[in-house]
Amino acid sequence: MMIEGQDGLTWERWMQIARMVEDLGFVGLYRSDHFTNTRPPHKDSLELWVSLTWLAGHTKRIEFGPLVTPASFRHPVFTARTGKDVDDLSSGRLTLGIGAGWQEHEHEVFGFDLLPVRERFDRFEENVKVITQLLQAEEPVDFDGNYYTLKGAELLPRPSRPGGPPVLIGGNGPNRTLPLTAQYADEWNGVFIGPEEYGDLNARLDELIDEHGRERDDVRRSIMTGLVYGNVRADLERRASLYSAGPQELRERGLVVGGPQEVVDRLGAYADAGAQRIMLQWLDTEDLSGIEHFASNVLPQVHK
């Protein structure tokens, strides 16, 4: 499951959802990293790393992490340091999802510089390099970039997992995102695309991984997309309305939409396209009965 942490999430809801996801048999729980929703009125929002620290100490089994934490307002030293400590606290269950940043509203409101797209990805590339070097290098790290500078930096204690938590890069860009993933990441996470496009990008990622001399199995493949689930038409339309569109339009936009069998078929199509994990975005954090129904009627058909 994937939750939008800026879209009305409170401690009570976060705790309920985390315990439910673990108890019902989901593989993991992931959440976004934003200060606020895209437009007023602003909603309740839990800070990412504080909420993940709680989850690390209060769950035993599920995988978890940010989808994704942005370079635009997270310094890579803090991302690496916090990530490895939360991973250690959870006994190695964190996936460290990172991205360039995109939401203009929160950057304007809170005074962060999002940067034009080209410069944003230049900064993100440096961010990725700093994080991976700090997590993986056994010796102190020197780095001299346009955005970040390190002089003999090291994170102590070293991560319990060799190399630290796996680094996930999220996004669909063939020119910057996929090449960075092929060179540095442990997991690629596509975003809001259908199985056919996912398969095409996945094949391109294989080619880039080959070019960098890595094994294709070195990079796990996943996708994050919206879930509009309903066993009756009224539930389906109500949940689709959260995306301000009808069920058919949302299907065409790459969301997983429908009742149990339709969802199972769609998940199978992603698996055929190469996805090993799918994070399904559940927008209504008060709608816990829908999560329970999904777990009872879909999970038994897809868990192997």
Q: pLDDT value at position 231?
A: 87
Residue 69 vs residues 86, 209, 271: alpha-carbon distances, Å: 14, 23, 26
Residue 58 has pLDDT above 70, yes or no: yes
Q: pLDDT value at position 304?
A: 59
Give the model confidence (pLDDT) of 75-101 as tens digits: 999 999 999 999 999 999 999 999 999
The number of residues making up the chain comes to 304
Average pLDDT of 210-231? 97
Where do the domains of the chain lie? 2-171+223-267+277-302
Q: What are phi and psi of 188, to 5 degrees?
A: -110, 135
Give the model confidence (pLDDT) of 145-204 as tens digits: 999 999 999 999 999 999 999 999 999 999 999 999 999 999 999 999 999 999 999 999
Best CA proximity match to 123, nearest among 105, 104, 99: 99
Cα(125)–Cα(144) distance, rounded to whole angstroms? 13
May I ask the CATH architecture of the domain 2-171+223-267+277-302? Alpha-Beta Barrel (3.20)
Contact 186, 219 (CB under 8 A): yes
DSSP string for residues in 126-179:
HHHHHHHHHHH-SS-EEEE-SS-EEEEE--SSPPSSTT-SPEEEE---TTTHHH
Best CA proximity match to 188, nearest among 200, 177, 199, 176: 177
Cα(251)–Cα(60) distance, rounded to whole angstroms? 34
Q: pLDDT value at position 303?
A: 75
Q: Is the dihedral of CA 116, 173, 221, 166 positive or negative?
A: negative
Residue 39 has pLDDT above 90, yes or no: no
Cα(279)–Cα(180) distance, rounded to whole angstroms? 21
